[in-house]
Amino acid sequence: AQNAPNSDWEKKVTEHFKEKLKENNATNWVPSLNDVPVHYLKPNSLVKFRCMIQDMFDPEFYMGVYETVDPNTNARVLHFGKYRDVAECGPQQEIDLNSSQTVTSERQTFYCVPVPVCPSLTPSHAYVSASQARVSPSTSYTPSRHKRSYEEDEDMDLHPSKQKEQHMGKSCCSGGDIHGCVEPKRLETEASAGHHVISPNCSPPLDLNFPLPGEKGPACLVKVYEGWESFKVNDVLEVFGVLSVDPVLSIVNSEERDSSALDPMECMDTAEEQRVHSPPASLVPRIHVILAHKLQHINPLLPACLNEEESKTCEFVSNFMSELSPVRAELLGFLTHALLGDSLAAEYLILHLISTVYGRRDVLPLGKFTVNLSGCPRSGAFAEHLYRLIQQLVPASYHLRMSIESMNHSRFIPHKDYTANRLVSGLLQLASSTSLVIDETQLEQGQLDTAGVHNVTALGNLITWQKVDYDFNYHRMEFPCNINVLITSEGRSLLPSDCQVQLQPQIIPPNMEEYMSSLLTAVLPSVLNKFRIYLSLLRLLDYSISDEVTKAVEEDFVEMRKNNPESVTADDLHKMLLVARFLSLSAGQTTLSRERWLRAKQLEALRKARLQQQQCVNGNEL
């Protein structure tokens, strides 16, 4: 209001909020859509949302500046349209579409969902405890009936029939309050139940397009005004912006709108596209972004950005690194018990959990460390209980039970729906650093159909190349990813892996469920949080090998090949260097030492000896 058009008021707004959110943990006071139901939040208030970009819609135009006129007094008022979905227009005012003051602007819309299976910190307690925002149901909000969507206003002169549509759309609610079109509380509850939500005014159910079945939490249309080219599909963001849940936005989905009034020549969007891109605001709220940034990680127990040279961040890291050794020892003990007394398998599980793709050379992902834990007992649902323990340690995880039915009937690969003009999600559309545990122990004999073969191939590509080929009907597009894959199996896995570890249980508990549950209850919550910080923090550390150690490793490799050239290949060297890398990082060391290299060789020798032993027992096992 205090600035003329074309001034730099937008920058002032962004800077103001950026400074305010830095003060005294102010971010904790902003209500989060991850924790608070939409109907508890006040419309047009500041909210935050941690989310993954599931899809990117086409850019949209809106009226950045527009003018209203009072027909009786001819008084003119200038309005700004940024951070709004609906134009401000009083009862005695009309929007002057031909005003010379009108400024058309552009914004980008992202369809965002909560990070798939992110609340594994049992469940989302860390997010809730970190947030100090207190909200109560908003009862004072009464929407104005004199509001119109910018997009409708803007091209009303280009599409006169839209005026007719708008009146017809409004008439569907003329019997009472506009909230009658949708039932916010009921719909919000139904939204949390799963993929499909049945709206009273939509005959087919609305698919919220979550990547995983049974996902909870709101999907949002996130509207970005600047810097959107730096974001891409599957990025994990934290956004701060203005919440928009105006019921007028739901009218486009009203079944009572006479679709026959739409002239296909005048309406570029199909009915299905309109329905998907303009869902009811009570179900898919809009957030007009003031500030947005990509997250390095999704663990709420760590500072959001660890690259910054802030004193608090440096202090946090240095304090934790000083007590790293006992934390590692406790975690090793915990995982040894979880793996039925097998300390070697526990070592490799720690290395797996801190592994991450740190770079790519041509098409080869560097740093991936997929482990196949073979020899898992089928009895007592061991693999299931092991996953539940891992779920408590990592910020995001998913348990994929491999069976003929799940392979043949699940949708793994996202594909483009050109009718609705959206990307339909699949199981493998996961956020970076997600732990994917594939359980082969329940796999029975059977026939894979075409879809099943495609799904198994997609899993193989994910493991080998850390990429998923999204299906755009006429072509496939590669989307690089960074997913930690652990495969539990009886024999050697059907899927490729970087490292096979044969489990050698030292104990077989009579009641597996009771045994695994007692492990968790025996660990203090504070210790469990240290495990979580340990696994997330070490993934983010830089690592290097000095020239001196590189030379020593090369000489060692030549020496090993002297005795038996067949026994040690270039692949074996690569694997040993990987193990040495994660072994060093697991001890908090960012450079490779001679001792860690020797320890890595020792671990690999023990692992290979086990596999040889297993091969002798089962002649055709490997």
Enumerate residue ranges in the chain where pLDDT < 50.
119-132, 134, 138-203, 255-266, 621-622
Residue 186 three-state SS: helix
Closest CA to 178 of 131, 222, 142, 139: 142
Task: Please give the Cα distance from 268 to 265 (Å, whole number).
Answer: 7
Give the 3-state DSSP-derived string for 477-527, with helices as H, strands as E and coil as C.
EEEECCCEEEEECCCCCCCCCCEEEECCCCCCCCCHHHHHHHHHHHCCHHH
The ranges assigned to domains in the chain are 7-131+211-253+269-294, 311-541, 542-621
pLDDT of residue 194: 42
- Contact between 116 and 430 under an 8 Å Cβ cutoff? The reply is yes
Q: Look-up: residue for tokens 């990987």?
A: 578
Closest CA to 586 of 547, 538, 532, 516: 538
- Contact between 370 and 486 under an 8 Å Cβ cutoff? The reply is yes
Phi and psi of 543, rounded to 5°?
Answer: -145, 145
> Quick one: CA torsion of 109, 10, 76, 223, rounded to 10 degrees?
10
Exposure b/e, 508-537, CB count within 10 A at least 16 = b: eeeebeebbeeeeeebeeeebebbbbbbbb
Closest CA to 153 of 166, 171, 144, 142: 166
Residue 160 three-state SS: coil
Phi and psi of 103, rounded to 5°?
Answer: -125, 125
pLDDT of residue 523: 94
Q: What is the CATH number of domain 311-541?
A: 3.40.50.300
Q: If you ran DSSP here, which 8-state letter would residue 273 be given?
A: H
pLDDT of residue 108: 96
pLDDT of residue 151: 45
What lies within 8 Å, CB to CB, of 133 at 6+ separation is 28, 29, 30, 31, 32, 36
- Tally DSSP H helices, then E strands, for the chain: 17, 23
Structure tokens of 366?
């560097």
Task: Please give the Cα distance from 109 to 60 (Å, whole number).
Answer: 7
pLDDT of residue 478: 95
Tell me: the pLDDT tens digits for 303-342?
877 765 566 677 888 889 999 999 999 999 999 999 999 9
Task: Please give the Cα distance from 206 to 114 (Å, whole number).
Answer: 17
Structure tokens of 216?
């909870």
Q: Rounded to whole angstroms, what are the CA distances from 543 to 99, 245, 424?
A: 60, 47, 38
What lies within 8 Å, CB to CB, of 319 at 6+ separation is none
Exposure b/e, 593-615, CB count within 10 A at least 16 = b: beebbebbbebbeebeebbeebe
